[in-house]
Amino acid sequence: MPQSADTILDIKGLRTVFRIRLGEVTAVNGIDLSVAAGETLALVGESGSGKSVTSLSVMRLLTRNIGVIAAGSIDLKRKDGTVSNLVSLPQQEMRAIRGNDIGMVFQEPMSSLNPVYTIGDQISEPIRIHRGANRKAAMDAAVSLLDSVGIPDARRRAGQYPHELSGGMRQRATIAMALACDPTLLIADEPTTALDVTIQAQVLALLQRLQRERGMAMLFVTHNLGVVAEIAHRVAVMYAGRIVETGPVAEVFRNPRHPYTIGLLASMPKLGDASRMKQAGERLAAIPGVVPSLMNMPAGCAFQPRCQFAVDACRAAVPPLADVNPRHKSRCIRWQEIR
Ligand SMILES: Nc1ncnc2c1ncn2[C@@H]1O[C@H](COP(=O)(O)OP(=O)(O)OP(=O)(O)O)[C@@H](O)[C@H]1O
Ligand code: NI
């Protein structure tokens, strides 16, 4: 499918490997993904499927000398309209892109916040660096950002240190920090997983509102299909480093065409049942069997040992990503038969 003019992130053939003592593991094994302006793409899958390694590859935050992008391209349309292939940029240029063209929100807000600086100083810092604003103007911008992410009494909060804020308020502050320079792309990796259930819903709603208002592209990593249904336009389901199904959220949920997606959906708690939604990660174990070890992958389709539909051909070769329709793809040779 041709890329639309407003494609912000365009990943092609990405392969990311880890060179560890026992050898090499391929955590991301040739994935294609694109996210347009104004669109949220969710990456979903069980623990270890390669979601975070994908987002770390885009941010070029892989552990140096251990995690390596071995193949593929990651084109990012930047704020000035130019397109850069992030794979080939030196780290020095990536530092100018992170926090400027790409905003980042992680699971644990304290991983983004420095405990020894006030919230206001931390949010105004990128504004001073990337925009060249003076101290006063940058602080005013930080306070207005804190206000826009729903932090009450923003001026006073800006003068406080991270430990003086609740977990939910801290995550709102990191979101404000991520948005400080008006990024074209927001990458959120499990941004609500560490929060209380009621706070989770509020932070999700906040991210959704900000994504819409700012027309950003958002890459949203989660293991929770309930969250996908709430926030994303399109979904890519990952399994053992590959995308096994992708398409518009409504269509994939209504008409899943990969046995793994069908299993995930079957083990998903009912929507709106917040306390059970939080347990969705554990409940994915409702699919019999376990995710294969990347060091010891099964022959053919990686899901075949757990699949009730598997036939000999599934063990013979890795299935290609087949077109269910131009927007909906499944990496299952039996996609037409399964229900
Ligand atoms: N620093 C590392 N060193 C070696 N291998 C790694 C490293 N980080 C990730 N991996 C490998 O990559 C695989 C995928 O990890 P990743 O963090 O992307 O999973 P994930 O889908 O984000 O799972 P989770 O839902 O638990 O966050 C891991 O199972 C592991 O084999
Ligand atoms: Ni992860």
> Is 82 within a domain?
yes
> Is 58 within a domain?
yes
Q: Specify the number of domains making up the chain.
A: 1
Instruction: Tell me if 63 CB under 6 Å of ligand 1.
Output: yes
Instruction: Tell me if 47 CB under 6 Å of ligand 1.
Output: yes
Does 324 have pLDDT greater than 60? Answer: yes
pLDDT in tens, 86-98: 999 999 999 999 9
> Is 145 within a domain?
no
SS3 238: strand
Does 282 have pLDDT greater than 50? Answer: no
**Strand order through the sheet with 102-105:** 102-105, 185-189, 217-222, 40-44, 234-239, 242-248, 328-330, 322-325
Q: Which of 14, 15, 21, 25 to mutate to test the pocket of ligand 1 (most atoms within 8 A of CB)?
A: 25
Can you read off the two tokens belonging to residue 251? Answer: 């269509």
pLDDT in tens, 166-211: 999 999 999 999 999 999 999 999 999 999 989 999 999 999 999 9
SS3 209: helix
Q: What is the CATH number of the domain that holds 112?
A: 3.40.50.300
Instruction: Tell me if 50 CB under 6 Å of ligand 1.
Output: yes
> Is 61 within a domain?
yes
> Is 147 within a domain?
no
Q: What DSSP string describes 312-331? A: HHHHHSPPP-EEEETTEEE-
> Is 286 within a domain?
yes
Instruction: Tell me if 103 CB under 6 Å of ligand 1.
Output: no
Range of the domain at 107: 7-116+161-330
Instruction: Tell me if 293 CB under 6 Å of ligand 1.
Output: no
pTM: 0.94
> Is 136 within a domain?
no
Instruction: Provide the H-helix boundaries in the chain.
Output: 51-59, 91-97, 109-112, 119-131, 135-148, 154-158, 167-179, 197-214, 225-231, 249-254, 259-266, 274-278, 280-283, 312-316
Does 277 have pLDDT greater than 70? Answer: no
DSSP class of 289: S
Q: Which ligand is nearest to the CA of 66?
A: 1
Q: Using alpha carbons, list the distances in angstroms from residue 9 to 52, 56, 213, 221, 277.
A: 16, 14, 19, 15, 29
> Is 133 within a domain?
no
Does 63 have pLDDT greater than 90? Answer: no
Q: What are phi and psi of 26, to 5 degrees?
A: -95, 100
